[in-house]
Amino acid sequence: MSSPPPRSPHGAPKSGLRESLIRRSADSHRESPDREVVAGYHNINYVVPLGWWLAALLGTMPFRARVKCRMPRDTVQVVPRIWRSESEVLATVSRHLKKEVPRCYRDFGDWSLHSYRAGQVLSDVRIDEGNEDRMMRAFARFFARTAGVRGDKLPPTPAGWPESGRSQEFFEWLIGFTEDRVHQWNRWRFRDLFEAVGIRSDALRSFRDDRDRPRLTPRPFCLLHTDVHPANVVVDRKRLAVIDWELAMYGDPLHDLATHLVRMDYEKDEQVRMTALWAEEMVNAGHPEMTEGLDTDLPAYLDFEYAQSVFPDIMRAALDLAGLPGEPDHEDFQRAARRVCRALRRAAEPLKLKKVPDEAHAEAALRAWYAGPYGRAQEEAHRAARSARDGGALDEWGAVGDETYEEVYGGAYEVVGADAPAGRAGIGRQAGAGIGELPSVARELDEVRALFADPAGSCVLFDFDGPICRLFPGEASRPAADDFWKLVGEHGLHDVIDPADRHSKDPYDVLRDVARERPGSSGVAALEDFLTDGEVRAAQCAPATRGAHRLIRELWRRGCRIAVVTNNSPRAVASYLHRHGLSEAFGPHIYGRTHHAEQLKPDPDPVLCALRGLGAEPCDAVMIGDTVSDFEAAREAKVRFVGYARDDRKAEPLRTAGAEAVIRALAPLIGLLDVPSGG
């Protein structure tokens, strides 16, 4: 799926003495004891009075004004975000919708400072009988105004985004995002729960491939808010202002209408009335072309809204149980079961669910999930990792929390190859070497240094098992390997394996051979399922590669685009990243084993998919891998390669294959980022 483009210079945090003063004053506002906490699903907001000093620095007047300190929350990502920075969207949109959009004074990277819209949240307002129609018309006029904001007035869209008018492509993109980045992305943790309440693994694919649904009518694209519901609407003197624009996008205006109809929880007759007002205001505003195909296409978008919402609704119900400070009681489970059943009832028709379970069945499924390895235990491990990270430590599997930079940097590295000057190959340990004392490095590391000089313009692709963690340390993989070969024999697959791989210790070579000879067969499915189950279990206790978490967090902090490109299951990777508080750094960018196992590395397809997803060119990227397959995939994709090998046994195959830069610890790469000592 496409991803947000890198932060533009406009959206990047500003610098300079004045900006430093603004940041310090803003920080003091954020920590004010008078702050009012307003928590949403995606952000936590602290609302505080605007002081004279900060107002003067910002060039605005305080009077009785308040500001909103807005901090993103660590949440399960269930809706697409095509623009990384909400402040960038607001800066553009506020020029066209001044009354509807709060002003973003500053984006500091980890949080932002916004103007505050005075008034009451619509969810707290009682709508008098007879005023419902006036409220709906106000919404219709809002949508008509957003329809006037076209693509040339908005930030750049991700690479491959559907062009204006291609409504069918846009619709399919939404379905694909939900399937790939919500459903399948989270199956590592929620698969048993989904299946227990009747969600088939192919439910959304069947919805996408429904031949009875006509193709959508082409409509011009415009700005979409995509999240207009009572909690995101402020009422002031009977006027509506729509806040929280982090999920805004560019696309078919019927999508915005459909999300509004569903999330406002209108009754059927209210949906009909709101739709009629929407069409009327679109025509009045000079956008009649946006109402084309309304009668046939709106039902498709509504079906999609009900279908896609079943996944986040079930996951949120479960996660709310796991996130409670203590053990949930009977009422907590009952409340969660009601949420699950409501979501299933609404999705039953579009997803063609065979049966909607009753609340007792849903409660039993939630209890089983909560007590299992992905329920409360997983959430507690995740919180511990975040606490260690926020406290300046790494975690129990990473480097010791109070280690100095020199201790991290005291790893060994070497550069090899024909281009290396005499005396450079085989350099041993550089214990305690400071950044300024680095020996000259190979051309490849010099090129990486150049990339790291502008992290926001570069991207780093990490292999998983090796550069990030040791999935099967020591002899841990031996029992699984024995069982794997037994499974190969049970399915009669020895004869289809390439002779060179019949004694291979790498099961992925075997899986690739079988997938090429027997694509889509039960044997391929059995081998893949076996590997996935073993990897997911191993990810629960896999030790981190020394320095890996530090490197990842520093790259992410500096705005570098990062991804995992691996032959392992995405479920295993997602489980590991969540456990160690790293999910936010990678976002959706995990490119792991798919049902097309014949395209495992050394095939360059996973690397090319990652580049497309990150919106990057090969010249912008470097891959860190520990196998010849990694090296060959990077070479075919024309991406720079840095080999990671913890010992001679791992380094020799990379040397033989032609890798010119091999490091024995990740410290040299951290050094290229010029991390200060002890940072």
Q: How open is the CA angle 265-269-273, to the nearest 5 degrees?
A: 95
**In the chain, what is the greatest distance between 2 CA atoms, to the nearest angstrom?**
87
Q: How confident is the model at residue 540 (pLDDT cuts 50, 70, 90)?
A: confident
Higher pLDDT, 315 or 133: 315
Q: Which of 22-26, 80-84, 307-311, 486-490 has the highest mean pLDDT?
A: 307-311
What average pLDDT does this structure show over 409-427? Answer: 37
Q: What is the pLDDT of residue 14?
A: 54
pLDDT of residue 641: 94
Written as one letter, the residue type at 322 is A
Band (pLDDT 50/70/90 cuts) for residue 477 is low
Q: In 474-617, at which residue ranges do the beta strands (DSSP E only) sit?
A: 561-565, 590-591
Distance of CA 597 to the CA centre of its chain: 23
Q: Which is higher by pLDDT, 151 or 514?
A: 151
Alpha-carbon span 441 to 283, nearest angstrom: 65
Q: Kindly calculate the radius of gyration of the chain based on its CA atoms and give it in whole angstroms.
A: 27
The pLDDT, as a whole number, for residue 41 is: 66
Overall size of the chain counted in residues: 679
Q: Cα(555)–Cα(552) distance, rounded to whole angstroms? A: 5
CA–CA gap between residue 468 and residue 41 (Å, rounded): 30
Q: What is the pLDDT of residues 576-634, one digit of tens each?
A: 888 888 888 898 899 988 877 778 888 999 999 999 888 899 999 999 999 999 999 99
What is the rounded average pLDDT of the residues 96-106?
77
Averaged pLDDT, 505-526: 74
Compute CA 154 distance to the chain's CA centroid, rounded to the nearest angstrom: 22
Mean pLDDT of the chain: 81
Residue identified by tokens 């982090």 is 246
Predicted local confidence at residue 17, as pLDDT: 78
Element (H, E) at 421: none
Residue 431 has pLDDT above 50, yes or no: no
- Alpha carbons 318 and 332: distance in angstroms, whole number: 10
- Residue 461: pLDDT band with limits 50, 70, 90: very high
pLDDT of residue 163 exceeding 90, the answer is: yes
Whole-angstrom distance, CA of residue 484 vs CA of residue 535: 13
Mean pLDDT score, 291-319: 96
Q: Which alpha helices (H) appear in 197-329, and where do they start and end?
A: 203-208, 253-263, 268-284, 294-322
CA atoms of 360 and 121, how far apart (whole Å): 35
pLDDT at residue 425 in the model: 34
Of 170-179, 373-382, 663-672, the least confident: 373-382
- Contact between 542 and 576 (Cβ < 8 Å): yes
Report which listed range, 18-27, 45-54, 462-471, is most confident.
462-471
Is the pLDDT at 393 greater than 50? The verdict is no
Instruction: Answer yes or no: is pLDDT of 430 > 60.
Output: no
User: Rounded to whole angstroms, how far apart are CA atoms 87 and 85?
Assistant: 5
Judged by average pLDDT, the poorest of 301-315, 426-440, 538-552, 585-599 is 426-440
d(Cα 11, Cα 87) in Å, to the nearest integer?
Answer: 7
What pLDDT is stored for residue 323 in this prediction? 87
The arithmetic mean of pLDDT across residues 261-277, rounded, is 94
When mean pLDDT is compared across 67-76, 207-216, 305-314, 657-666, the lowest value belongs to 67-76
Rounded distance between C-alpha atoms, residue 429 and residue 431, angstroms: 6
Q: What mean pLDDT do residues 133-151 have?
A: 92
Counting residues of the chain whose pLDDT is more than 70, the rounded percentage is: 81
Q: Alpha-carbon distance 615 to 589, whole Å?
A: 11
Overall average pLDDT of the 142-154 stretch: 92
Asked which of 8-12, 95-99, 263-267 is least confident by mean pLDDT, the reply is 8-12
Question: CA 452, 592, 486 angle in degrees (round to 5)?
Answer: 135
pTM above 0.85, yes or no: no
The alpha helices in 540-591, defined as continuous H runs, are: 548-557, 570-579, 583-586
pLDDT, position 5: 44
Say which residue, 341 or 40, is predicted with more confidence. Answer: 341
